Amino acid sequence: MTKELEIEFKNLLTQEEYMKLLSVFGYRPEDAHTQINHYFDTADFRLRNQRSALRIRQKGEMFECTLKTPAENGYYEITDALEAHQAEEILKNRSFPAPEVEEALQELGMKADLLEPLGSLATHRIEFPYQSGLLVLDHSEYLGKEDFEIEYEVTDFEEGKQRFQAFLNEHEIPVRNTDKKIARFMDSAKNR
């Protein structure tokens, strides 16, 4: 289990802006690696109502279960590494073999057996170090939709905020109100 504070800044991109940034940094769409997020909540969206989110992330043969809960500047992430069969148990709602995440869910007043799989989001990701942080270019596909975004992951909120704004200005990208992937996924799921 790990518990980390995640501080990131994000902005939706047009497909044209995404392609331009790939080119600027010397990448092509086929350089991306794909990860799949499987999202969960209760039928009445109790996690979402607490500004929290639960996912199983699959990267190749690696799986992890992560609960995100709000922090003052960002989110706390509680993560359990999973074997493929354990991920399958959770996805099929047979058991919940992620003990640290389950304990954190209980602290939120949530029982794991109330969770339901809501669907999956595939992200084609390119990431690289940039000015003391990590710059991430994502192309996501979910529920018949696709979108593009940039994320900047940092350890210092104020410094990261200034650098991200400067980056957007330098590349002439307008600031767009950007929800987390799970929020965009949930909005699409609720509107289906």
Model confidence over 2-14: pLDDT tens digits? 677 889 999 999 9
Average pLDDT score over the chain: 94
Q: Is pLDDT at 26 greater than 80 in this prediction?
A: yes
Q: Which CATH number is associated with domain 2-181?
A: 2.40.320.10
Task: Retrieve residue 176's tokens.
Answer: 């767009």
User: 163 — phi, psi (to 5°)?
Assistant: -65, -40
| Strand 53-59 relative to strand 62-71, pairing | antiparallel
Helix (H) or strand (E) holding 143: none
> What's the pLDDT band for 190 if we cut at 50, 70, 90?
confident
Q: Is pLDDT at 182 greater than 90 in this prediction?
A: no
Q: Is pLDDT at 15 greater than 90 in this prediction?
A: yes
> HSE of 100 in the Cβ direction (CA atoms, 13 Å)?
15
Q: Is pLDDT at 192 greater than 80 in this prediction?
A: no
C-alpha dist (Å) from residue 2 to 27, 76, 79, 100: 31, 10, 5, 9
Average pLDDT over residues 82-109: 95
In sequence order, the 6+-apart residues with CB closer than 8 A to the CB of 125 are: 32, 33, 34, 35, 136, 137, 138
Domain locations in the chain as residue ranges: 2-181
- Give the closest residue to 56 by CA, choosing from 29, 21, 92, 6: 92
- The model's pTM: 0.86
Q: What is the pLDDT of residue 166?
A: 98
Q: Are 126 and 117 in contact (CB under 8 A)?
A: no
> What's the pLDDT band for 47 if we cut at 50, 70, 90?
very high
Report the Cα 64 to chain-centroid distance in Å: 12
